[in-house]
Amino acid sequence: MKNDVLISTTRLYDGKIIKLDLDRIRFPDGSEGEMAVVRHQGASAIVPFLSDPGGADPDLLLLRQYRYAGGGYLYEIPAGRLDAGESPIDCARRELREETGCTAESVQEMCAPLMTPGFADERIHIFLATGLTRGETAYEADEFAEVHVLKLSRALIMIEHGEIVDAKTIIGLLFAAGFRLRA
């Protein structure tokens, strides 16, 4: 954000996951107004391919994870918040290991979208992982998830039919299928 846009800021909430600021800003036309902005330290997510993504219909790992705010269980790619001083790629590798038990031979960044720029500054770095070696998961106390192996074609059909509704997962899977795996 340009320094000449922000006039003042007041912290309204300071939580573990998010912070809420009330910013007084200067709009592009020179007028001023207030905007409530959710602040988030950022996150990483990773699309883990269990089989060669160059194959006809590769296998990938998805989590079926309980999300209270989402209304129940959702299918997701592994993801989590960046720790202080942690690089996005290190976060992606850590989340892959904790949530699927896997380590990856290769991790490549695909994109880093803003998730809801109308009111939040959260950016999620999305990676593609290949050459997986399976191991044991290490869920946090508030994580309730199961690892599922799916064909990429099945996951894409689930997106089309509204069975996968998580934005980072949709972005990651479509980006991988559309830009990284095409011939």
pLDDT at 183 over 60: no
Catalytic residue from among 86, 136, 143, 146: 143
The token pair that represents 105 in the structure block: 């031979």
Domain ranges of the chain: 6-39, 43-180
Q: How many C-beta atoms lie closer than 10 Å to residue 167's C-beta?
A: 13
**In the 8-state DSSP scheme, what is residue 162?**
T
Percent over 90 (pLDDT), the chain: 85
The three-state DSSP-derived secondary structure of 94-157 is HHHHHHHCCEEEEEEEEECCECCCCCECCEEEEEEEEEEECCCCCCCCCCCEEEEEEEHHHHHH
pLDDT in tens, 41-100: 999 999 999 998 888 899 999 999 999 999 999 999 999 999 999 999 999 999 999 999
The token pair that represents 113 in the structure block: 């979208």
pLDDT (0 to 100) of residue 137: 84
Residue 143 a catalytic site member: yes
Q: How far apart are CA 160 and CA 168, in angstroms?
A: 15
Pick the CATH number of 43-180 from 3.50.50.60, 3.90.45.10, 3.40.50.1820, 3.90.79.10: 3.90.79.10
Q: How many C-beta atoms lie closer than 10 Å to residue 117's C-beta?
A: 11
